[in-house]
Amino acid sequence: MPMPSKETMLRNARALRKNMTPWERKLWYLFLRNYPVKIYKQQVIGPYIVDFCCPRAKLIIELDGSQHFMPDHRAADAERSANLEAHSYAILRIPNIDIDRRFQAVCETIDREIRGRTQALSQP
C-alpha cells in the first residue's frame, strides 16, 4: 500500500484535530494545552499521525481505545512504535479508560515523563 502524500497526511491531521475523541479532548483541554513545554496534537511523524507529540522531550503520547488490545491491532501498534522509536521518540501509551478513571495519575505520569526526558536530553 503506497504511503499517502504529505499534503494528504497534513489534511488528515487537520481533520483529526477538529474531531478529537472525547478522551483526547479531555486530556488536551484540561492538561496538555497549557503545559509549560510545547505539545502538539495530531502531529505527522513519518508515515503516522500521532495523538500528541512533545518534540523537546522526544515523547509521543498515544491514547488507546479498546481496539488497541485486539491481537491484530497490538501487532500493528508494535510496528508503529518501532518505527516512531527509530525517529528517536519514546512512546507513552495510555488506555482511554485511564483518562476516565485515573485522570490525575495520567497527568502526573505525563508530567514526570516529559520532565525526565527533557532534563536527560538537555544534558551535554
Three-state secondary structure along the chain? CCCCCHHHHHHHHHHHHHCCCHHHHHHHHHHHCCCCCCCEEEEEECCEEEEEEEHHHCEEEEEECHHHHCHHHHHHHHHHHHHHHHCCCEEEEEEHHHHHHCHHHHHHHHHHHHHHHHHHHHCC
pLDDT, one tens digit per residue, over 82-92 is 888 888 899 99
Q: Which fold has domain 6-122?
A: Endonuclease; Chain A (3.40.960)
Return the percentage of the chain with pLDDT > 90, whole number: 55
Nearest-Å Rg of the Cα atoms of the chain is 14
pLDDT at 104 over 60: yes
Chain mean pLDDT for the chain:
87
| Domain regions of the chain by residue span | 6-122
pLDDT number for residue 68: 46
pLDDT, one tens digit per residue, over 45-102 is 888 889 999 999 999 999 987 554 556 667 777 888 888 888 889 999 999 999 999 9
pLDDT at 8 over 80: no
pLDDT at 1 over 70: no
